[in-house]
Amino acid sequence: MQEVLRDAKSLLRRENYRCTAQREVILELLARHSRRHYTAEEIHQSLRDENPQLGLSTVYRTLVVLEDVGLIRRLDVGDGVSRYEFDADDAAPHCHLICIRCGDVRDIACPVPQEMQSLIEAESFQITDYSMSFFGMCSHCTRRVRDGKIGDPGEDIHLMQ
C-alpha cells in the first residue's frame, strides 16, 4: 500500500500537480478499497469525520485531477452519477457487472475475446485500455425478486429510466 501511494505521489509530481493533503487522503481511500466504486458523495461521507475541512467541491475537483493523470478511472453506470475506482498501473483491465436495481458494481477479470482482438488488430489499432459493462441484476436483487420482496425487473429500474 505504501509503495502504491509513493508511486502515485511521484506520478502526480511528474505531471506537475502538487500532492496536497486532500489529494492524498482521497487517493489513499480509493487505493485501500480498490474493489469499490465510489461516488464523490460517498468519498466525501467516508472522509469528512476525519477531515472536517474537506468539502464536497474539493472532492469533485480532486477527482478530476486524479482521473486526468490516470490514477483513477471514472465509471458511468447509466444513472448520471460517476463512480470512481483506483486504477493501478499493473492492474489487468476488468469489466463491470452493474446491478440496475441496487447500483452494485462488481469487477470481473475480462480479457479481450480473441475474435474481438483480431477485429481490432485488422484496424491496426493499439489498445491502451478498455472497459466493458454488463447491466443486469445482482444475486441479491435476483433473490429478492424471486422471493417477491421487490417487483419484477423493469417495474422500478432506477438506473436506466
Q: Which residues sit at the interface with Zn ion, rule CB under 5 A? A: 85, 99, 101-102, 104, 107, 138, 141
CB of 130 to Zn ion, least distance (A): 12
Q: Which helix (H) or strand (E) holds 66?
A: helix 56-68
CB of 22 to Zn ion, least distance (A): 23
Looking at the Cβ atoms of 19 and 145, the one nearer to Zn ion is: 145
Q: What residues contact 34, with CB distance under 8 A and at least 6 apart? A: 85, 86, 88, 91
Distance between first and last Cα of the chain: 39
CB of 138 to Zn ion, least distance (A): 3
Residue 39 · residue 81 · CB < 8 Å? yes
CB of 49 to Zn ion, least distance (A): 26
- Rounded to 5°, the CA angle 45-79-157 comes to 110
What CA–CA distance (Å, rounded) separates 149 from 143? 9
Looking at the Cβ atoms of 54 and 72, the one nearer to Zn ion is: 72
What CA–CA distance (Å, rounded) separates 95 from 85? 12
Looking at the Cβ atoms of 109 and 122, the one nearer to Zn ion is: 109
Looking at the Cβ atoms of 7 and 107, the one nearer to Zn ion is: 107
